[in-house]
């Protein structure tokens, strides 16, 4: 009887073993499979690839729970096969493509409010991080990563960049703007709302070159008198975004050694967030 239960757990459908809260929505899975069918990820040599839908669900389970690769339930397949599949997806930019498709879908259905945008950074613990991780000044110099996010007025993520925690927020500014997919057509003039960390002439020059109207909170350390925020300054819509991303445990703490893997998981997370907002 024990042997039968063991076999059942390894070979049965994950739908019978895993709570639906930790499974990828069927509509999003269908979109992902369509993208996979157009990417060169199937190998012509070696063992045949496992069911891609099953592997995608395993990666989604890891993203939601933050579980270690070796601890993923066997109903998703072996941990080594899952990790190999994930690395292939990272190499072919699958997660960025999925994110871009969801942004385009949201733009078509609801419309992106690109007239007002904001950028904000958040520190993430990175105990195993190698590249783009450093001594965090807000966490007793433990290893950390900084995640920079660009959002439009409704809280839809348009761009992302990562860097070490000991790097100033402004150093990720250009990379964050450049990470916005090219298919998203920006209006010629739009507002950029930033906190006091970005109050510098360098940032204002960059904003001018990208046709942004700066709305930057004054840095009190550089002013002798108490400064006032610019007229119409508001950043309420980007503050919850990092909180929404913390629901994905693999994002709240970075256990990925390589920055490309962590950024891909973050892109996967915002794809899901955009997909769910598109259903409302």
> Which CATH number is 225's domain given?
3.30.420.10
Question: 106 and 83, same structural domain?
Answer: no
Within the chain, which residues score under 70 in pLDDT? Answer: 1-12, 43-50, 222-227
What pLDDT does 46 receive?
55
Number of H helices, E strands in the chain: 10, 6
Question: 101 and 63, same structural domain?
Answer: no
Question: 217 and 86, same structural domain?
Answer: no
> Rounded CA gap, 215 and 21, in Å?
39
Question: 226 and 120, same structural domain?
Answer: yes
What pLDDT does 220 receive?
75
CA atoms within 13 A on the CB side of 274: 29
Question: 230 and 258, same structural domain?
Answer: yes
Question: 129 and 13, same structural domain?
Answer: no
Q: DSSP character for 51?
A: P
C-alpha of 57 from chain center: 17
> Rounded CA gap, 252 and 243, in Å?
9
Of 92, 121, 152, the position where a domain reaches its end is 92
Question: 192 and 149, same structural domain?
Answer: yes
Question: 107 and 160, same structural domain?
Answer: yes
What pLDDT does 102 receive?
96
Q: Which two tokens stand for residue 186?
A: 């920006």
> Rounded CA gap, 141 and 162, in Å?
18
Look at the alpha carbons of 254, 258, 259, 264 in this order and tell me if their dihedral is positive or negative: negative
Beta carbons of 191 and 215 less than 8 angstroms apart: yes
What pLDDT does 48 receive?
55
Q: DSSP character for 160?
A: E
Residue-range definition of the domain harbouring residue 146: 95-279
Beta carbons of 149 and 157 less than 8 angstroms apart: yes
126-179 residue pLDDT tens? 999 889 999 988 888 899 999 999 999 999 999 999 999 999 999 999 999 999
Question: 44 and 159, same structural domain?
Answer: no
What pLDDT does 8 receive?
45
Question: 219 and 151, same structural domain?
Answer: yes
> Rounded CA gap, 94 and 33, in Å?
11
Question: 119 and 51, same structural domain?
Answer: no
What pLDDT does 222 receive?
65
Quote the number of domains for the chain. 2
Beta carbons of 105 and 135 less than 8 angstroms apart: no
> Rounded CA gap, 156 and 273, in Å?
8
Dihedral pair phi/psi, residue 97, rounded to 5°:
-65, -45
Of 47, 66, 92, the position where a domain reaches its end is 92
> Rounded CA gap, 231 and 5, in Å?
66
Beta carbons of 179 and 160 less than 8 angstroms apart: yes
Beta carbons of 136 and 166 less than 8 angstroms apart: yes
**Continuous H helices in 92-194:** 94-109, 173-178
Question: 227 and 134, same structural domain?
Answer: yes
Of 44, 59, 92, the position where a domain reaches its end is 92
41-57 residue pLDDT tens? 776 555 656 688 899 99
What pLDDT does 129 receive?
87
């Amino acid at each position: 009887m024990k042997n039968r239960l063991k076999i059942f757990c390894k070979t049965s459908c994950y739908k019978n073993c895993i709570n639906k809260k930790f499974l990828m929505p069927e509509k999003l899975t269908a979109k992902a499979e369509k993208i996979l069918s157009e990417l060169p990820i199937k190998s012509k040599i070696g063992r045949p690839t496992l069911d891609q839908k099953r592997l995608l669900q395993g990666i989604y389970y890891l993203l939601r729970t933050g579980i270690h690769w070796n601890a993923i339930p066997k109903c998703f397949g072996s941990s080594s096969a899952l990790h190999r599949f994930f690395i292939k997806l990272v190499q072919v930019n699958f997660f960025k493509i999925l994110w871009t498709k969801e942004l385009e879908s949201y733009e078509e259905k609801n419309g992106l409010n690109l007239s007002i945008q904001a950028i904000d950074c958040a520190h993430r613990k990175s105990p195993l991080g190698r590249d783009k991780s450093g001594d965090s000044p807000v966490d007793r110099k433990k290893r950390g990563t900084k995640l920079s996010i660009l959002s439009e007025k409704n809280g839809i993520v348009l761009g992302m960049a990562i860097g070490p925690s000991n790097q100033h927020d402004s150093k990720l500014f250009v990379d964050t703007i450049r990470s916005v997919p090219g298919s998203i057509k920006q209006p010629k003039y739009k507002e950029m709302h930033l906190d006091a960390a970005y109050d510098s002439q360098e940032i204002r020059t960059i904003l001018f070159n990208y046709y942004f109207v700066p709305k930057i909170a004054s840095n009190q350390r550089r002013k002798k008198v108490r400064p006032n925020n610019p007229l119409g300054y508001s950043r309420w819509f980007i503050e919850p975004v990092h909180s929404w991303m913390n629901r994905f445990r693999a994002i709240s703490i970075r256990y990925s050694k390589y920055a490309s893997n962590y950024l891909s998981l973050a892109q996967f997370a915002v794809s899901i967030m955009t997909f769910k907002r598109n259903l409302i």
